[in-house]
Structure 1
Amino acid sequence: MSGNEKSQISLLKEMFGNVLELMLIRLQMARVDILGLKNALLKVLIAAIAALILFLLGFLCLLFGLNAALSPAAKIWVFFGLVVLSVVVIAVLVLMVLNTLKGQQSCLQSTLKGLQDDMAYIRGEKRYSDIDIEELHDDGR
């Protein structure tokens, strides 16, 4: 084996080591994103359950109080009005939860896209001159 072949093998070993290190870093980033998504889901679920229990308790107390204080004609308008208000509040809360989940999902998708790009660079499907780093184009505005 000549010196040139040994240096090429050494270079390939070094590149393989770098590729493995890059892949491990990307996988760790994906793991962190997945854990963040799990934690966000858990917090949202706990908050939603607590809010639901407190809402139901308060709503029942309100209904019993209104039932004793209102005239029969006013009861109909108040109770149906509360139903409409509750439906609107529920819709707003569902939209807030969906937006939170969408934000977490986009972060995970960004990490996975970076991993796919890294694999494409390693396989030679993309060139390093194709790299577009957003921070380099940021002009501070």
Structure 2
Amino acid sequence: MNFFSEKLHRYIERHMSASCSSMRCAQEKILYGVLGVGAVVLLFPYLLGVVLAGQIGLWSVVVIDSLAYLWLLFLVCYRPLSYRARVYGLLFLIEFLALSLLAITGNQGAGWLWLFLAPVLATLLLDSR
């Protein structure tokens, strides 16, 4: 566990801007922590979900999961993106997943949870007060 902690700490330090207030530094740590952990931890459910959905013929789920994970990797790996662009990209990803889940599963799925998560993350990551 210490190995992953060190890697995440180095990833966050590498992506943080040189001059930032304490609030901005906290926001950047939250964002890059979410992106870094998400890229690693979500790889296994992504692969499992794609394999299982492919076996039962849910190709829309395979496409949606693949697009979502590729977008997450883009947000993590594309260096020229600014902080605000990464935040809006993450919020777009959350909304995309929420609407996709609602379209596929209806009212019974976790789409509503994702829809309620987006404004909370937006407040945490974009508010400068």
TM range (shorter): 0.3 to 0.5
Higher RCO by CA contacts (8 Å cutoff, separation 6 or greater):
1
- TM-score, structure 2 length as denominator? 0.35
- TM-score, structure 1 length as denominator? 0.33
Higher helix share: 1
